[in-house]
Structure 1
Amino acid sequence: MRGRKPTAPHLKLLAGTTRPDREVSDAPQFDLIDEFPSPPQHLNVDGAEMWNRLGPQLVMARVLQVVDLYALEQLCYAWERFRKKAKAGMDITAAEDTALKALFSEFGMTAASRRKVSSGEEKKSGNRFARNGKR
């Protein structure tokens, strides 16, 4: 049995949980996407719609790196297959459902995965210890 999957460094930074003593010093860094590309030609209407809606939001959040485009393409393709079966009244397999949920989680598109990332704004709380002793 494997443990919890490591959180990406840029997500730790957003969540405020970065610790220098736990960082991997030689972790590869890739360029952030500044200008989001058009959807791959093989995607159908449903896949291209997801690409065009999700991609620009990930770019604005400054979390989409060049290498992430491949996983995003895979997510959009899995989504289009899901929609195709749904429109035909067919059920998806358990494996397809699990794979789609895993891809959603990779991009912070589930409630549980979003809880791991914050917008960086400080939360107002009545708890005086909520800021770790910072005044």
Structure 2
Amino acid sequence: MTRGRKPTAPHLKVLAGTTRPDREVPDAPEYDLIEQFPDAPDHLNIDGQQMWANLGPQLVKARVLQVVDLYSLEQLCFAWQRFRQRAKAGMDLTAAEDSALKALFSEFGMTPAARRKVASGAERPAGNKFASNGKRSA
């Protein structure tokens, strides 16, 4: 059974500029954005803590990390530390572990394809982005 494309979170559609009022879910939950990024959870080892410390502040700066996303970020950092432990021991990941890690990377826009779906919360330049549509460049 194919399920098609996974829906994009509403706040990411706003950031990407692809939101459409006719497709909005009126009762979709919204959570507070993280403004002050917390310390890494104690159970993460050095690899997990490094990912937490490197990735978290960047997600906060891009204005895409909400309070509830900390749990998924923790899961990503834990999966990453397991990947690193296995890699250092010369062991391969199982197919399920590899798939789960890739899915978590995608959730946070950390693959080239996923990054195209997520835009930062930075201000966009004013002007008509369609002004040159239909014109051929010389």
TM-score, structure 2 normalization: 0.87
In the alignment, structure 1 residue 108 sits paired with structure 2 residue 112: no
1:81 maps to 82
In the alignment, structure 1 residue 129 sits paired with structure 2 residue 130: no
Superposition pairs for residues 45-60 of structure 1, below 5 Å? Answer: 45-60=46-61
Return closer, same or farther for 1:59/1:126 CA change in 2, 3 Å cut-off: closer
Q: Which runs of 5+ in 1 are unaligned?
A: 131-135
Residues 58-109 of structure 1: CA deviation (Å, up to 9, x unaligned) = 1111110110000000000000000000001111111111000000000000
1:133 maps to none
Q: Which amino acid counterpart does residue 129 of structure 1 have in structure 2? A: N
Q: Which runs of 5+ in 2 are unaligned?
A: none
Any runs of at least 4 consecutive aligned residues in structure 1 with deviations exceeding 6 A, and if so which? none
In the alignment, structure 1 residue 30 sits paired with structure 2 residue 34: no
1:126 positional shift? 9.9
Q: Once the two structures are aligned, what percentage of the paired residues are identical?
A: 73
2:13 maps to 12
Deviates more, 1:3-12 or 1:19-28: 3-12
Task: Give the distance between the partners of 1:92 and 1:12, measured in 2 at CA.
Answer: 33
Task: Give the distance between the partners of 2:67 and 2:20, measured in 1 at CA.
Answer: 25
Q: How many residue pairs end up in the alignment?
A: 130
Task: Give the distance between the partners of 2:5 and 2:56, measured in 1 at CA.
Answer: 26
Give RMSD over aligned pairs. 2.1
Q: Which amino acid counterpart does residue 112 of structure 1 have in structure 2? A: A
1:118 positional shift? 3.2
